[in-house]
Amino acid sequence: MAIIGLTGGIASGKSTASRYLRDLGASIVDADLLGHKVYEPDTPGFEKIVNTFGHDLVADDGTIDRRILGGKVFGSPEQMDLLTSIAWPEIRRMAELEFSEISENNSDVSIIFEAAVLIEAGWQDMVDEVWVVTTKIDKAIDRLEARNGLSREDAIKRIESQMTNKERIEYADVKFDNSEDEEKLRSRVEYHWKRFLKRTSN
């Protein structure tokens, strides 16, 4: 079993690349989906977050009110670091459980660990290769305006709050650009997937 850590900035196209890799036979573990599970009631992450940030986070339906939590952590690097110190280890734990379950069912399958914060969280040791999807800043802005309905100013803020393409590429075993159309991205994904299969079959 080999694991690829797939990462990239917001609106880079990593989820699209992940979908293509699923079509090519890979199993996908999505860190973003696992992140949502951290906030579910009756989980270790839920208890830690509520005890750390206050019981006023809990809405009438028993779930964490993400808007209240956001108000406590956004704009405060210290509070955001505190939140990630709870969430990231929980995501890692759940991801490793999924890796084990997938391997038990099919030890020959390759896993794609799609994680926007792969590098920031220090999860490179969980994977055999790091793949980075990049796109030009103007393309990312256009996508955020169209997809998320953000203003240009807000889109730029989102992008600038993250690691840069240059910083991510320093950690990349494989990198490919997604500044053109989806067919070009699909072609690049297929090319690198074939090369990966050759590397891991030797």
Work out the angle between the directed axes of helices 66-73 and 44-53 (0-180°, nearest 10).
50
Is 5 in contact with 129 (CB distance < 8 Å)?
A: yes
Same structural domain, 22 and 114? yes
**Residue where a domain terminates, one of 59, 81, 107:** 107
And the tokens for 40?
A: 């579910």
**Cα–Cα dist 10/137, whole Å:** 10
Residues 89 and 172 grouped into a single domain: no
Query: Is 82 found in the same domain as 119?
Result: no
Domain count, the chain: 2
Domain range holding 157? 1-26+110-202
Domain ends where: 107, 123, 153?
107
> What is the predicted pLDDT for the residue at 77?
87
70 with 119, same domain: the answer is: no
Answer yes or no: do 12 and 40 share one domain.
no
Question: What is the pLDDT at residue 202?
Answer: 65
Q: What is the DSSP string of 35-86?
A: HHHHTSTTSHHHHHHHHHH-GGGB-TTSSB-HHHHHHHHTT-HHHHHHHHHH
Residues 18 and 117 in one domain: yes
**According to the model, what pLDDT value does residue 181 have?**
87
Q: What is the pLDDT of residue 184?
A: 93
Mean pLDDT by 10 residues, the chain (202 residues): 93 93 96 94 94 94 91 87 96 96 91 96 96 92 86 84 91 93 93 92 72
**Spatial CB neighbours of 171, under 8 Å, sequence gap ≥ 6:** 119, 124, 130, 132
Give the pLDDT score at 157: 84
66 and 166 inside one domain: no
Q: Report the pLDDT value the prediction gives residue 23, as an integer from 0 to 100.
A: 96
